[in-house]
Structure 1
Amino acid sequence: MSAQELVKKVVNKINTKVKDSIQKSKDLNGNTHIGSDVHLIQTSYIDVKELDTSNIDIKVAIYLSQMYCEHKFDLLGSGWVENSYASVALGVEGYTYDMNMPAPKSISAEYEPIDWQKDYKSGYRWNETTWYKDQKIGHKLGSDIKVPWELARFQHLPQLAIFSIVDESLKEQNIKEFKYQILDFIVNNPPRMGVNWACTMDVGIRVANMLVAYDMFMQLDCFGVLDDEFKQTFANSIYGHGLHIVDNLEYSEFGRSNHYLSDISGLLFVSAYMESNDEINQWLAFSIQEVINEMDYEFYEDGGNFESSTSYHRLSGELMVYCTALILGLKEEKVKALQNYSIKGWKVKPKLLPLDKQEFKINNSISKIELQQWYIDRLYKIGRFTVDITKQNGDIPQFGDNDSGRFFRFSPNGKFLTNKEAVDKYLNLKGYVENDELFWDENILNHSTFVSCFGGAYEDAIFNNDMAFEKSFINAIAEQKFEQKDIPYKNIKKNSYSLDGLNHENTIIHNSKLNIINSKLITYPDSGIFIFKADDFYLAVCVTPLGQKNSGGHTHNDKLGYELWLDGKDIVKDPGTYLYTPLSHRRNEFRSIIAHNVPIVENIEQNSWNQGNIGLFCLFNESKCFVKNFGSNFIELVLEYKDIKIVRRFEINEKKVQVIDKCNRVFYKNKFGMYSNGYGKVENV
């Protein structure tokens, strides 16, 4: 960072601190809800008659509806646990807190309030009377701020609407639950107070889910449950969410991530649904402008996401595909309003550009937004990337972090276990009830619902699968197909490299019962992922860049690591992520070189990190990887870091895979004993 940039950063920080001090004083001494009513939300983008729910099992719909109405949620490894002001937590690796308090007055006699401030895994509770920027993270062992954030994303509310379509007997119950949970949240989470306004990303995801659920429930409510008073309260809250996003954008010219993309995605949904006026029109133009900018900033030319995480690729990819569908499906009055928006009075960064400087165009003849071809092609490649990295069993490899993050969770995607089977499988469920009752176990690693979105966007058979709902949802809001044109794979660049001095060698052999020689090499050189695929064989190799423009927030020390699927089963799997801030030693353990199937020299990390919470989302850029050579049945990769030089060659022969390692120093390979298939979930292996 230059001296000029440093000065600019310091000045911005001082200005922010002064403004925060003034705003905090106002908020702590007054009502933070908006002071006057806004127009009711009349716009609808989702015709429920066009939605295809054929892939959703009625048994699952009934089960999940019951759980949500009983305020039992399985989030981030919690198990199906009730969250109330009196509920008792299982704890996280022995850390348990008893911070229960009397419940506030309920908004209905038939409804028990949810404790929105509680991490119901550990029992730790944040405070709704504390200003949002003063909420602490990772200060108590075992406490996880992601748990209340995840619940308050409201991703279960659209599911309640979808389940009401699947089984009409659920309709009245689910509509009431939607209404009560929304009112409960609004009353007990005033803007800028408590844990659920601390992260703008979650505000953006929440408001989009609120709007989608509202859109569907308004069409299903033949009972008059959603009365005018509720509609007004709801509209006011949506506007309040929009104000909060604009005032708290997670933007920096020095670096940004999926957080900022979530912010502007939420703002897009707010401005698309709310009645047009000068302010809303600015929000709409700005959010479209920034979605386009982030497509270029956050996704490589080959389609992979710059976080260097296959799981965050889905999160950011969902944000992109749903937002693109909404932009292209904007109502005529919204498109016309965009023709006359003003940039005057726009005070936040980045700047709002005038219409003639925007990368999107308005087609007046059909009153639709048009996006440039590079954008449509890049979006296609995002979907193709996930298709290509998917194994034959439907799962993706876990390279980089996996926090189970999503934009929307529409179709359930998993299987039923019994409670006893779940406890036997997952170490994090220690103390959970053991019986033969059903336990829905969501498969976080199956990204078929994400791929289905692209089936709604593009006419290409590679996106066809059984997840009909997501495809129909994209069709419903976009009302058109996108046409990709320039979509070739990027070529790999070979680099000459001397093997002199690499005197230490080891070969790992994975034998197969089948002939696997006829595999296809698929290359993502920008993303640093290379895949060999055949009908009964899958090998994915990881040499991802540090990610987030070299800040390394969500990458692991997994360079030269791989996942192997052979003869119908997983042979080698990446261990996943498990936790972030609750237990920093677990966070570091799962992203360390020790956890990955890579050559290890004296336990020296490929990329170092700062100790303590400050280092949990950053790695120093100390390693470099490149391709030495490749062919139809092999690839040879080089890793250099801290005077360590390693060449790893993957060679596919007729009935075996050989992994040949050469290094300039003595090395070994560790066998890590834990595996996490989603955030908060952990197994012994």
Structure 2
Amino acid sequence: MMSLIFYNIIYYLKRKQKSFQQSLTSYTYVHPKYIEPLLSNLNQLSNKQNLRESFDLFRNNEVFVFGKIFDPIRFDYDYFNNYQFEKNVYKPAYFNKADIKVPYEVGRLQFLQKINLYFIQSAEVQKEIESVSKIYGDLLDEIETSNANHVLWNSPMDVAIRMINLILDRNIKFVINENENNKSLDELIIKHFEFLKNNYENKGNVVGNHYFVELVATLLFLKNYSFKEIDLEIDKVIKEIESEIISQFNSDFTNFEGSTHYTALMIEALLLIYLSLENDERYKELTKKIKNIIIENKIFLKLLTIDNELSQIGDNDSGRIFYFLYDEIEPLNMNWLFDLIDLSIKSETRNSIHKHSFENSDSIEIESLLKVEHQAIPIFQNEFDYYAYPDFGIYIWKNTTDYLSIRCGNLGQNGIGGHAHYDQLSIECYSNGKWFARDPGTGTYTDNIKVRNTYRSVESHWGPNLMFKNNQSFKKCFELNNIEPGKVLIFSQNQFLGKAKFNDVTIFREIKIMDGQLKITDFSKDSSLSQYKRWSSRKDGSKYSFSKGYKRFN
């Protein structure tokens, strides 16, 4: 308890003072070129029933939050833990008490995307605008009148996503009626922009997706509002984006966070940049680079999509930018994103650049070690392909019915591992409609540290079956300890050999695929290694409990 109090005091003293600064700049809304083509693509892909349900929820002052419906819509409340946040919030987490991500999620206003898309699909539907206008106006008034220490302004990244949603709201209002007076909405968007540029999250030991999303939101604002020094401001933001792409994307085009679902979020962010800059000749080279990253990551994520669900390697907090098409009931289904990319970016079909075998020159002496052979798994009765993503640290074998992957490599975030799990040498395996081994997902973050640490633990993954000592403290629940990056020694279509250190003990894992059988053997000097006499008996493939997205667990 004392360490928690001390942590909060230190954060309070070190925090950056937030305030709203009155802008002297005069901004003018300029309708962007990206919105009509985007709406056309969204209309092709949208589920009208889903949009109608979202509208009905909003009309009843209800909201979807991490797969559950709550009412009324509140910006200061954690529905899951029945906790109301104070008028002034000064810390980033309420450990083992409340989940601050819940009001962050509501405060993003992402439900406006579905409501606006619903409105724009029919003139008849637009007659129903009046039925929700009071709720809409009250919510925006609450944001406008909130103080700078309200939970609504506690996370600059969430402020950025809210600004994106407000700008898209502004865009669609113009499409519906370009003569409508939106002065108050413009002023609210400008307030977000002025706040954001004074509160960028670009300091600390990890500068990651938060800062990147903030830059994307800033760019979107600059492509929608004109002012005296607009070109200079755009150039500054573009240079920062170019720098962060270099920092946050690996040489194999994967994202440095080490998470599949954070990769999806970052690809959404890149897609928004691409759409904003597509017709701007000044940034032709940047859009070309972004296009390549998006396409390569679409291939990567589709390889890790099984039965229409994207595997949850690393953290998944269910964050979205293009919420228009997202399904709260099927949060792991990212096919809508792949389809949106296909409609938005015209490109030729390309083969993966990640099909290759290799053998490391390191001396390999494993026969003298203790070994444990696990139960064989029937798999790959037909031909299959194999793919290496060494910078992300994952190796994949796949055909139309079967899938196998193993994590071995970087920890993510340049070794910090804030959104990575203790999954070195862990496998996922699926064959003919059956899961044998699967990553369990994320559970939750700071409102329940025990759950947080359980879902990311060695014990919850299908790596070596060992006793792993790791006393993870509450303040280190966004980093990895007592584990080192894995190293691949052999990778080919039929064989894998990799190693990783757990508590300073080196463990090797060997995979062989022969005659329709998957054979896995672990080697170590550590006698505590145990055999998996059977793989998962659960339909979802997890060891103990499966989290189908953030907070979606038993």
TM-score range, shorter chain: 0.7 to 0.9
The residue that corresponds to 1:631 in the other structure is 492
Equivalents in 2 of 1:55, 1:265: separation in Å? 24
Which of 633, 648, 652 is equivalent to 2:513?
A: 652
The 1:667–1:19 alpha-carbon spacing in structure 2 relative to 1, beyond 3 Å, is: closer
Q: CA deviation at 1:264?
A: 0.6
**Which of 196, 199, 210 lines up with 2:166 in the alignment?**
210
Partners of 2:204 and 2:284 in 1: CA distance:
27
Which of the residues 72, 78, 101 maps onto 1:119? 78
CA distance in 1, matches of 2:296, 2:42: 25
Q: Work out which of the residue numbers 366, 369, 380 in structure 1 matches 2:295.
A: 380
Q: What corresponds to 1:468 in structure 2?
A: none
Residue 343 (structure 2) aligns with: 456
- 1:571 aligned residue (433, 436, 444): 436
User: 1:213 Cα shift?
Assistant: 2.1
Read off the aligned partner of 2:103 and give its amino acid letter.
P
1:389-400 superposed matches below 5 A: 389-391=304-306, 393-400=307-314
Q: Which residue of 1 aligns with 2:105?
A: 150
Name the CA distance, whole Å, in 1 between partners of 2:410 and 2:511: 19
Counterpart-to-counterpart distance in 2, 1:71 and 1:180 = 7
2:549 alignment partner in structure 1: 678
* Residue in 2 that maps onto 1:489: 354
Q: Secondary structure at the match of 2:548?
A: strand
Q: 1:295 to 1:563 in 2, by over 3 A?
A: same
Inter-partner Cα distance in structure 1 for 2:287 and 2:61: 44
Please state whether the residue corresponding to 1:305 is helix, strand or coil: coil
Q: Separation in 2 of the partners of 1:323 and 1:403?
A: 22
Asked if residue 219 in structure 1 is aligned to residue 175 in structure 2, the reply is yes
Mapped partners of 1:682, 1:19: distance in 2:
35
Instruction: Give the letter for the 1:82 counterpart.
Output: D
What is the CA–CA distance in structure 1 between the aligned matches of 2:468 and 2:14, rounded to whole Å? 42
The Cα shift of 1:657 comes to 2.0
CA change 1:509–1:250 in 2 (3 A) is same
- Tell me if the contact between 1:541 and 1:563 (Cα under 8 Å) persists in the aligned partners: yes
Query: Aligned equivalents of 2:293 and 2:315: distance in 1?
Result: 23
In structure 2, relative to structure 1, the CA distance for the partners of 1:261 and 1:411 (3 Å cut) is: same
**Residue in structure 1 matched with residue 150 of structure 2 by the alignment:** 194
What SS class does the counterpart of residue 310 from structure 2 fall into? coil
- For structure 2, list consecutive stretches of 5 or more residues without a partner in the other structure: 1-9, 537-542
CA contact (8 A) 2:421 2:457 kept: yes
Q: In the alignment, does 2:36 pair up with 1:47?
A: yes
Offset of residue 193 of structure 1: 3.1
The aligned length equals 529
Q: Do the aligned partners of 2:42 and 2:340 also contact (CA within 8 Å) in 1? A: no
How far has the Cα of 1:286 moved from its partner? 2.3
Residue 244 of structure 1 is matched in structure 2 by 195
Distance 1:302 1:525 in 2: 8
Cα distance, 1:659–1:178 mapped onto 2, change above 3 Å: farther
Does residue 1:290 correspond to 2:240, yes or no? Answer: yes
- State whether residues 42 and 325 of structure 2, in contact with CA within 8 Å, keep that contact through their aligned partners in structure 1: no
The aligned counterpart of 2:334 is 447
Query: How far apart in 2 are the matches of 1:54 and 1:379?
Result: 21
**Percentage of pairs with the same residue:** 22
Contact (CA 8 Å) 2:372, 2:531: kept in 1 or not?
Answer: no
* Alpha carbons of structure 1 residues 372 and 451: separation in structure 2 relative to 1, 3 Å: closer
Question: Does residue 540 of the first structure (1) align with residue 402 of the second (2)?
Answer: no
Distance 1:518 1:395 in 2: 23
Between 1:492-501 and 1:265-274, the stretch displaced more is: 492-501
Q: Calculate the aligned-residue CA RMSD, in Å.
A: 2.9
1:214 positional shift: 1.9
Cα distance between partner residues in 2 of 1:292 and 1:233: 33
Q: Secondary structure at the match of 2:261?
A: helix
Determine which of 354, 368, 381 is the counterpart of 1:516. 381
Distance change >3 Å, CA 256–CA 157, structure 1 → 2: same
Cα distance between partner residues in 1 of 2:188 and 2:353: 45
Residue 5 of structure 2 aligns with which residue? none
Helix, strand or coil for the counterpart of 2:127? Answer: helix
- The alignment status of 1:591 with 2:456, answered yes or no, reads yes
Distance change in 2, residues 1:60/1:192 (3 Å): same
Q: Is the 8 A contact 1:175 1:221 kept in 2?
A: no
TM-score normalized with structure 1 length: 0.71
Asked if the contact 1:600/1:669 (under 8 Å) is kept, the reply is yes
1:336 maps to which residue?
none
Distance 1:401 1:72, change over 3 A: same
Report the CA distance shift for 1:192/1:282 in structure 2 as closer, same or farther (over 3 A): farther
In the alignment, what sits opposite 1:344? none
Q: TM-score, normalised by structure 2?
A: 0.87
Q: Is this contact kept in 1: 2:440–2:547, CA < 8 A?
A: yes
Q: What code does the residue aligned with 1:118 have?
A: Y
